[in-house]
Amino acid sequence: MPKSTFAGHPLHPMLIVAPAALIPFGFILDAMHRRTGNPSYADAAYYSLVGGMIGGLAAGATGAMDYLTIESKTEVKRTANVHASLNGAALALTALNIAQRRTNRDRGSLMLSAIAAAGVLVSGWFGGRLVYDQGMRVKGVSPVAEAPDLALPADDKLEHMMLREEQIAPASGPVLH
């Protein structure tokens, strides 16, 4: 199974931004609705959760591609199992929460939102462990470096274009000592 790539970089971390932000934000909006009774917060929570769900499915698909390249019976696979399980549970709870709101936005569950948000946040820690502690998809140290990449036909040209654009940016800036 090839790894998911876009312009020479892993695609999964690019896609996790939406669910990592929108599912916890849905909880915040639900809490604001509960506190104020303002139905606009319930509506916004619904759309935030829908966006988080769609983003989560896309992130999950690319994460699954990377997951399938990890060697079995390794510490990396164990961490990936926890990461994937937490995300799967968070998406299932989010789907249930969205289903409850389809006809009446006020019928959403603050508890489902809270548990899903917590699951996403804790899962993010395990995702960070995969990258920062175990080197998952980090060039030069990745345990899946030898697996082929699944890339767009012009992926190398996109990567080259982005690297060329990067050269325009200044290399100087503040430094903390």
Residue 171 falls within a domain, yes or no?
Answer: no
Q: How many CB atoms lie within 10 A of CB 42?
A: 20
- Give residue 164's pLDDT: 83
Burial (CB count within 10 angstroms: exposed 0-12, middle 13-18, buried 19+), residue 47:
middle
Nearest to 60 by CA among 21, 12, 9: 12
Residue 37 falls within a domain, yes or no?
Answer: yes
Residue 173 falls within a domain, yes or no?
Answer: no
Q: Domains in the chain: how many in total?
A: 1
Left if phi > 0, otherwise alpha if psi is -120 to 50, otherwise beta: which for 166?
alpha
- Tell me the pLDDT of the chain (177 aa) as tens digits: 788 999 999 999 999 999 999 999 999 999 999 999 999 999 999 999 999 999 999 999 999 999 999 989 999 999 999 999 999 999 999 999 999 998 877 787 899 999 999 999 999 999 999 999 999 999 889 999 889 988 889 988 988 888 888 778 776 666 565
- Give residue 174's pLDDT: 64
- Give residue 104's pLDDT: 79
Residue 167 to residues 10, 163, 170, 172: CA-CA distances in angstroms? Answer: 21, 7, 8, 12
Residue 161 falls within a domain, yes or no?
Answer: no
Residue 143 falls within a domain, yes or no?
Answer: yes
Nearest to 52 by CA among 27, 21, 79: 21
Residue 108 to residues 42, 54, 85, 93, 120: CA-CA distances in angstroms? Answer: 8, 18, 23, 11, 18
Domain of residue 51 covers 3-151
Residue 177 falls within a domain, yes or no?
Answer: no
